[in-house]
Structure 1
Amino acid sequence: MATTDDAFDGLTEHCQECDLDTLHEVSVQLRTESSKAENAAFSREPYRVTECQRCGHRDSQRMNNA
């Protein structure tokens, strides 16, 4: 579970690589999932992307699992 931190920019989350609760930079990215050009505009999905500020490990999770 993510918690807010007194740090300027980030959240404290558990890092699988460090096996510790560390400061993470968190963002949301829209990614195109279709490889067909005519469907690309309709296949964008939001992903939650986290990056550990200690080791640099990045992880992403699709937010719409419909």
Structure 2
Amino acid sequence: MSAIDGSPEGMTEDCAECGRETPHDVSVQILTESSIAKNAEFSREPYRVSECRVCGVQTETRMNNQ
């Protein structure tokens, strides 16, 4: 779960590496899933990317899984 608490740190989330809630940078990015060059333009999907500002661990979550 993430939260914006009005602190100067901004958005905080649980970090599995740190073992606690820490500030994170969060963005939405279009990532290519195929490693085959001719199919790459057809395999782009939106992902929620979250990076812990304390330890630097990054997580990517595909946004349109059903």
TM-score by length of 1: 0.82
Report the alpha carbon displacement of residue 54 of structure 1 after superposing the two structures with TM: 1.0
Report the alpha carbon displacement of residue 8 of structure 1 after superposing the two structures with TM: 4.8
Structure 1 stretches of at least 4 aligned residues deviating more than 4 Å after TM superposition: none
How do 1:27-46 residues align onto structure 2 when only pairs under 5 Å count? 27-46=27-46
Gaps of 5+ in 2: none
How do 1:16-31 residues align onto structure 2 when only pairs under 5 Å count? 16-31=16-31
Equivalent pairs counted in the alignment come to 66
Distance in 1 of aligned mates of 2:21 and 2:3: 10
Distance in 2 of aligned mates of 1:37 and 1:58: 25
Distance in 1 of aligned mates of 2:64 and 2:25: 21
TM-score by length of 2: 0.82
Q: Aligned-pair RMSD on alpha carbons?
A: 1.7
Contact 1:49 1:61 in 2 (8 A): yes
